[in-house]
Amino acid sequence: MLLRVLCTLLLLAATSVDAAPRSERHEKGRALYNYRCYYCHGYSGDARTLAATYMQPAPRDFTRTSLEQLSRDQMIDAVTQGVASTAMKSFSYYLNADEIALVVDFVRKEFMELQHENTRYHTAENGWPDHQQYAIAFPFATGELALDAPQETLTDDQRRGLRLFLTSCVSCHDRARVDDEGAIWELRSISYPRNNFSFTEFDGTTSASVFAEHDQAPQLVDLSPRQQQGEQLFQANCAFCHAADGTGKNWIGSFLEVKPRNLTDERAMASMTDARLRQVIENGLEGTSMPAWRSVLMPNQISALVDYISYAFHPLASDANSTAP
């Protein structure tokens, strides 16, 4: 995941393939498109993305759409209102009217009229001065060869290319071609808006997925000053894995192995004392994703965390040997 984020950040900074000067508004439209639209429609508007392979109907391929087929007004309405029965949602929450116009005008000029390739990742400016040296892996990145092709059908160079692709390129090219997709292992959403906003309504309330409810912190009104400090520290740091409600059943927590401790579970917390919890926070837990926080948090901050967890999620047994300040 981290590698994909880094690749995305680099792509946002990628230079235009066409070196001809562009207007300021055009470049603003490019920046908005590269940030908001690439995930489904692709950096060059051709909808050749990982997300697109899971969508029915597929996102629009602007490179195969003429200006006559789709008017500017229709496009502005689609970005503003969304398109029913498709994955195209309304962006009016994220973009104002002028920004929507910038994106639409960029798409119409860059992809529909000029048929330009928007950005390339593998450039010298992005730290790839000799991309051609990885040529033996290209057939797997482009889909010319399937990743699950029988080894006996591949040449020695192709086998080396496959090893190179699987150890390096797959970090970003994770939707390469396979001949056998295999079974869908889990039929449920694994993502949702992280900004407390959802377009889905049930009985007047918004909900995004089975994980959303766990991103709601307990509403406690009688916290002491130290517990308030602990609450701020927990929600800013620990909630990323343990969830805002302490259950560890949020989106990130559901992917981790070993699972984050459910701080609300009586069995999981039965033997936990304030001194032991302090030690875990300070030193981490070997063999898990729990890191050591002793170089990040001060002793008084760790004490505040322990106090908050004991009050908000499950009372901790005291330990006579505890040295908590």
Domains and CATH numbers, the chain: 2-113 (1.10.760.10), 130-171 (no CATH), 225-312 (1.10.760.10)
In Å, what is the CA distance from 228 to each residue of 222, 305, 308? 9, 9, 7
Distance CA 208, CA 191 (A): 8
Task: Note the pLDDT of residue 299.
Answer: 94
Ranges of residues in the chain with a pLDDT under 50 are: 1-21, 185-208, 321-325
Phi then psi dihedrals of residue 28, to 5 deg? -65, -40
CB within 8 A of 50, min separation 6: which ones? 174, 175
Distance CA 320, CA 68 (A): 79
The model scores a pTM over 0.85: no
- What is the residue whose two structure tokens read 């295999």? 182
Crossing angle for the helix pair 299-312 and 274-283, to the nearest 10 degrees: 130
- Candidates 53, 47, 13, 46; CA nearest to 30 is 13
Task: Note the pLDDT of residue 280.
Answer: 94
Query: Tell me, what amino acid is at 153?
Result: T
Task: Note the pLDDT of residue 209.
Answer: 57
Task: Note the pLDDT of residue 293.
Answer: 92
Q: Are 14 and 126 in contact (CB under 8 A)?
A: yes
- Cβ atoms within 10 Å of 72's Cβ, excluding its own: 13
- What is the residue whose two structure tokens read 């959303």? 212
3 state SS of 202: strand
Phi then psi dihedrals of residue 221, to 5 deg? -105, -10
In Å, what is the CA distance from 217 to each residue of 85, 126, 261, 303? 34, 40, 16, 20
3 state SS of 206: strand
Task: Note the pLDDT of residue 138.
Answer: 92
Task: Note the pLDDT of residue 215.
Answer: 84
Name the CA dihedral angle for 261, 264, 270, 276, rounded to a multiple of 10 degrees.
60
Distance CA 268, CA 263 (A): 7
List, for residues 190-239, the tens digit of each pLDDT value. Answer: 444 444 444 444 344 444 456 778 888 999 989 999 999 999 999 999 99
3 state SS of 273: strand
Task: Note the pLDDT of residue 174.
Answer: 67
Distance CA 121, CA 42 (A): 13
Task: Note the pLDDT of residue 176.
Answer: 76
- Which pairs with CB-CB distance under 8 Å and at least 24 residues apart come from 21-25? 25/102, 25/105
- Cβ atoms within 10 Å of 129's Cβ, excluding its own: 11
